[in-house]
Amino acid sequence: MPDRSQDWFKQAERDLDQARHSCEAGRHEWACFAAQQSAEKAVKALHLRLKQEAWGHVVARLLSELPAEMNTPQQLIEKGRVLDNFYIPTRYANGHPSGAPFEHYGPLQSGQAIQYASEILEYVRDQMARPSDR
């Protein structure tokens, strides 16, 4: 099976760029979702680079399932937990007790989501730059 990790990582970078553009446009719910997607795809890229399968959409779990010798920082896993909260309610009207998704997200949330996703991408970029003979 060919190594598609770079394809996943390039899409993660593009999703992060989309998050920034959505934030600038005031579409904070989409910025939060795109940031979550960016982090998810980046961590899946790393799993693929390590010749592992990764399933699901939970960034924190995907990070915690990386090999122990990678010493994934617990703080990064916690940031993944924050991003995980943006997977469904940013897109669906029934994700909150009332109101449309866009009414629940603003620059504080999207800024934090973009920052956390950026940190996860940097971690993944550093790990993927290491020799692949792990």
Is position 65 within any domain? yes
Is position 20 within any domain? yes
What CATH number does residue 112 fall under?
1.20.120.330
H-assigned helices in 50-101 = 59-64, 74-84
* pLDDT tens figures, 37-77: 999 999 999 999 999 988 999 999 999 999 999 999 999 99
Is position 115 within any domain? yes
pLDDT for residue 134: 47
Residue 1 has pLDDT above 80, yes or no: no
Domain that holds residue 121: 5-128
Tally of domains within the chain: 1
CB atoms inside a 10 Å sphere around CB 106 = 15
Assign 133 a pLDDT band (cuts: 50, 70, 90).
low
Is position 133 within any domain? no
